Structure 1
């Protein structure tokens, strides 16, 4: 009996305190809050420890069993309003290390235009969706404009999808802005951050958008605010004494009249900052400073002596600005700051108020609401409320009719103030409550409010998305909680659950956009690594043997144009593979001038004296060329130097060989060759006199990681050097990068076949990677039939010469423009995209589309506008960051296919190359 009594007393205490907390956090007047200070200050640590479970306390939470932290998700599992931001970046290695789950991705659900890294995360969320019983629910478009005959002339999302189409076709110079209003689910930015990232990836990034001056609550993430000093006075629409006649939909006033206050923003990539403030008759000023230097002072005094009104001040930030600091002087009230790039793209504003409801946003001063919303010029306004309405309805503290009236008024206000913008209303998500026995059941009223929202959205001409159904419907909160996707309050999703909701909403928006217009290109551009299960079996077998401990060399040789010649892509892929399978040496380096692109991998080149660099593109067809289509011809006494593994530590002393590729020319004396400053003895002349230039490969044994080869032309003759390679007698990967800027597969076909085949065979490749197609896409007169015929024949010839497997990479997205006009696809991009998969199939090669990995249609435009830029301004090449991003995607796809093969077991055992 004592035990039961103690238990009953404990339950009573817990329920009493929980009720006190719930009322204190709810949007009710302070007089009705048992703990009125909770919304404005930190909870006492002992009270937190007594009442809240670990996952809700101020300390870092413990993840439930099976919950995996992922990029983009916060490491802490506190309530959304109390979650500190933790960002985790994945490098190419970590991207490649984690294989993707085998998830069927049904065509048409909205995954088609995601770039490879985002698609990988989306597949993980798809696996989670299937396990949780969540659903892909389409946006109900409804009708915003009817014709005289009752036909719908324009659906509820039309202004938004039309603006996105303008971005896609490069017909729009202004950004496409979204204003997303909501409650604590939005305040955390855990749902909207994923949506923002994906929209900006598909259509270009227009900037961070609207940010608060500092955190509106005493704890929480800093992602959607500046980092302010502690003296700001904060008033919110959710407070009992809200800032009447001053604040619009931004919802929070940050003021100071007791000495200067400041806030700081990270503005890297931003060029335009706009301050939202209250213009008052006797107001002070705000000093803008960039990177510690004064930029501009903004006076916040109003023109009217009798009233205050919402006002705005726009400032241009200098190129390369990193931080922006605002410092007040005198009495000042600020409402927020917007940061934009000044270029076309998507800007996604998030304004979430803890305890937010339709009624709370209706508290906003109407003129300020209108002025602030019009200032943003949104193409879409999203309203995500209803959760708190459902809470109050479940306690019989609000009626369904009142809920209907409030949401109707909020949508009416939005449509009246920005009539040219689309609007979208969301149903509230499912939530749970605990019974006295501890059972988790669905909260009453959520579905009823969702039904009201659907009806009112249809009547108002706003689109509607049923988040309740997407989550899984009745009882889904209990299922999510059991899987660790909901917090203990049974109301707020954890970061991973929020990511899933964002994923589902993003997919629905993408499907709506796809249905609104025809694709710019009619082309099958498959994502993922195609035919790897049949075309790469021997390579995967050898990698598996290497990983299991056999002392094997695995050779990969990549041939191509400038994408390969840049070395950024191949360096990143080499790094990923070498970390897993071992490093057997840098491989082949073409002769040529000094290049900073080689230096990251520890390779330097130098030329002294008279040198002429020739390439196969600018010379008659035929003739012996180096593996990259380049040869360096030096005059009398000229000297060429190639150094491998510069500044490498000498802790390990591996043995290996350094090979020099050069031409032996009739009636020309041999050059002087030194390796590590030691003169190499001349080789015996060939048994038969030379009648034509012939490729000669000289091999020199070496010890240690770092080596230099130097070639000096005779004083009375010339020398032709093709390149050099360094390999170690250690197990691992050798990845050759053989690229010639501007090259096509036709250029490789036109080089002397015997010279190419012999040199390529000397590299002992297990896998040949061919990356052509981007330059072919620029040819308006491309003969796709000849491309298929000649490329297939070339692949078969080189495979026969090397006994290697092969993998084709398609083109990146390639765009062109005339004198500042709109971008358009390269003239033969469709032909190349349709032809190369057929070439791969004909030649028995695997196939991977870089364009699909970038995100498909117009992805180059989006990569150009990314921060930092991933696509080059020429519409053809990528930046170093872009090549690294693409390499990470390729390495991950390759290793995912390898993992699938490894689990299936080896299929062959062949002689090693």
Structure 2
């Protein structure tokens, strides 16, 4: 019969898949060791922490310090985290920003993603996502939808044996690390990770009380495929997953929900959001909201300013070493039909008021501000011309951009970030 020490060691060995990949910096208690072995106490990733200032002097300082360190050959990782609405749910803007930063400062893969195909229509470049079986998806779009939700804003739940989600990459460099964000409880079932470098054995996810389990698993270098398969002995709930490569470089992770407003961040579980930010602290958090607020004819500028300030303060408490940037709402409107002189667009009713609040709060609360209108659209009356350009930059709805429009936005945002960090244009 195992004594207490033997039981802890046995648990650690039997559930090695949930073991954190960062050694402790001090002598941990037996209870802490057991918690970490179960995957319930993932410590902050030192590769992200190593490049961040203790107290950012400007909103661009953490990203600037991290990028300079990477350019000088220092080991570490820098994360740019983007949260927003449909402009971010469409992945092309974040992908172009990722390509630009990784080309100069180190490419380490795509990073974390919404779980499976919980985000409908999500087609990330270079990745093929499949989902087999009976899964239930939900998003944090509406406050009436019960949580939990984390950073991704999505949840995927399943319980039938053999149901699986799979990811396949086309990057010849592959990936060598898998991330899982599971919400576990007393009834949670087990699962298998099907990937090179990991044992094909069931993994327990049951916990005494409902709680988040963040798991990092090392895979075989150059892996191109990974799957999570249910055993059917209870439900499994995923709040996110993703793949990357170990080593130095930049990640750009983006999570958007079609139709979202700033309030969708309040529908994320605060304790889960704080935990995910603490484990992988970003160098820069970008908030991209405002288009859906701008459709509100009864828009309350005072209430919106208070909500925006409250959200910035909450993010700073959760991730005090990160910089924060607000993307000012881009021009958007409704096309006027028929032959008309002058402007053929009716701007969204609260467009200018939303942008004015965003700029004012960013200045007052010490966040960066990217003026999307000034950088790309410039005026609502120009939207039809952008939609008819070769190639088109706007879609016919005059609200959303085309792939080329989102890529152009990323290029202008990239230049803005380099100016803010003092690094100048790429290649300079």
- Give the TM-score category using the shorter length: 0.7 to 0.9
2:106 matched to 1:582? Answer: yes
2:327 matched to 1:805? Answer: no
Whether the aligned pair in 2 keeps the contact of 1:572 and 1:884 (CA below 8 Å) is yes
After TM superposition, the structure 1 = structure 2 runs for residues 73-84 of structure 1, keeping only pairs within 5 Å, are none
Question: Which among 656, 667, 684 is matched to residue 187 of structure 2?
Answer: 667
1:856 aligns with 378
User: 2:102 is paired with a residue of what secondary structure?
Assistant: helix
After TM superposition, the structure 1 = structure 2 runs for residues 21-40 of structure 1, keeping only pairs within 5 Å, are none
**In 2, Cα distance between the equivalents of 1:562 and 1:596?**
11
After TM superposition, the structure 1 = structure 2 runs for residues 95-110 of structure 1, keeping only pairs within 5 Å, are none
2:134 aligns with 610
Runs of 4+ in 1 over 6 A off after TM superposition: 818-821
Question: Which among 563, 572, 587 is matched to residue 96 of structure 2?
Answer: 572
User: 1:813 is paired with a residue of what secondary structure?
Assistant: coil
**In 1, Cα distance between the equivalents of 2:145 and 2:243?**
30
User: 2:326 is paired with a residue of what secondary structure?
Assistant: strand
After superposition, give the CA deviation of every residue in 1:232-259 in whole Å (9 maximum; x if it has no partner).
Answer: xxxxxxxxxxxxxxxxxxxxxxxxxxxx
1:640 aligns with 164
2:225 aligns with 708
Higher RCO (C-alpha 8 Å, min separation 6): 2
Give the Å deviation of 1:810: 1.1
Structure 1 pair 783–622 and aligned structure 2 pair: CA distance change class (3 A): farther
2:345 aligns with 823
Give the Å deviation of 1:547: 0.6
After superposition, give the CA deviation of every residue in 1:122-154 in whole Å (9 maximum; x if it has no partner).
Answer: xxxxxxxxxxxxxxxxxxxxxxxxxxxxxxxxx
2:332 aligns with 814
1:837 aligns with 359
2:249 aligns with 732
**In 1, Cα distance between the equivalents of 2:202 and 2:229?**
14
Whether the aligned pair in 2 keeps the contact of 1:613 and 1:632 (CA below 8 Å) is yes
**In 1, Cα distance between the equivalents of 2:146 and 2:64?**
35
TM-score by length of 2: 0.77
2:172 matched to 1:649? Answer: yes
Whether the aligned pair in 2 keeps the contact of 1:595 and 1:604 (CA below 8 Å) is no
Structure 1 pair 666–819 and aligned structure 2 pair: CA distance change class (3 A): farther
Q: CA RMSD in A?
A: 2.7
**For the pair shown, which has the larger CA radius of gyration, 1 or 2?**
1
2:422 matched to 1:870? Answer: no
Whether the aligned pair in 2 keeps the contact of 1:642 and 1:724 (CA below 8 Å) is no
Give the Å deviation of 1:897: 3.1
User: 1:705 is paired with a residue of what secondary structure?
Assistant: strand
**In 2, Cα distance between the equivalents of 1:640 and 1:849?**
42
Report how many aligned residue pairs link the two structures: 362
Whether the aligned pair in 1 keeps the contact of 2:376 and 2:409 (CA below 8 Å) is yes
Give the Å deviation of 1:887: 1.1
2:203 matched to 1:682? Answer: yes
**In 1, Cα distance between the equivalents of 2:164 and 2:363?**
42
User: 1:720 is paired with a residue of what secondary structure?
Assistant: strand
After TM superposition, the structure 1 = structure 2 runs for residues 534-545 of structure 1, keeping only pairs within 5 Å, are 534-545=58-69
Give the Å deviation of 1:820: 7.1
**In 2, Cα distance between the equivalents of 1:768 and 1:678?**
36
2:302 matched to 1:778? Answer: no
Whether the aligned pair in 2 keeps the contact of 1:589 and 1:723 (CA below 8 Å) is yes
Give the Å deviation of 1:767: 1.0
Question: Which among 885, 888, 891 is matched to residue 408 of structure 2?
Answer: 885
**In 2, Cα distance between the equivalents of 1:718 and 1:696?**
15
2:119 matched to 1:598? Answer: no
After TM superposition, the structure 1 = structure 2 runs for residues 385-400 of structure 1, keeping only pairs within 5 Å, are none
Give the Å deviation of 1:678: 4.3
Structure 1 pair 752–773 and aligned structure 2 pair: CA distance change class (3 A): same
2:17 aligns with none
After TM superposition, the structure 1 = structure 2 runs for residues 225-304 of structure 1, keeping only pairs within 5 Å, are none
Structure 1 pair 776–820 and aligned structure 2 pair: CA distance change class (3 A): farther
Segments of 5+ residues of structure 2 without an aligned counterpart are 1-55
TM-score by length of 1: 0.38
Whether the aligned pair in 1 keeps the contact of 2:182 and 2:239 (CA below 8 Å) is yes
Whether the aligned pair in 2 keeps the contact of 1:559 and 1:770 (CA below 8 Å) is yes
Segments of 5+ residues of structure 1 without an aligned counterpart are 1-531, 903-913
Whether the aligned pair in 2 keeps the contact of 1:817 and 1:824 (CA below 8 Å) is yes
Structure 1 pair 633–604 and aligned structure 2 pair: CA distance change class (3 A): same
Whether the aligned pair in 2 keeps the contact of 1:537 and 1:901 (CA below 8 Å) is no
Give the Å deviation of 1:575: 0.4
User: 1:699 is paired with a residue of what secondary structure?
Assistant: strand
Whether the aligned pair in 1 keeps the contact of 2:131 and 2:166 (CA below 8 Å) is no
User: 1:808 is paired with a residue of what secondary structure?
Assistant: strand
Whether the aligned pair in 1 keeps the contact of 2:180 and 2:240 (CA below 8 Å) is yes
Give the Å deviation of 1:577: 0.5
**In 1, Cα distance between the equivalents of 2:385 and 2:244?**
40
**In 1, Cα distance between the equivalents of 2:78 and 2:240?**
21
Whether the aligned pair in 2 keeps the contact of 1:621 and 1:751 (CA below 8 Å) is no
Give the Å deviation of 1:681: 5.0
1:439 aligns with none
1:755 aligns with 272
**In 2, Cα distance between the equivalents of 1:684 and 1:900?**
45
Give the Å deviation of 1:599: 4.4
**In 2, Cα distance between the equivalents of 1:820 and 1:750?**
42
Structure 1 pair 595–827 and aligned structure 2 pair: CA distance change class (3 A): closer
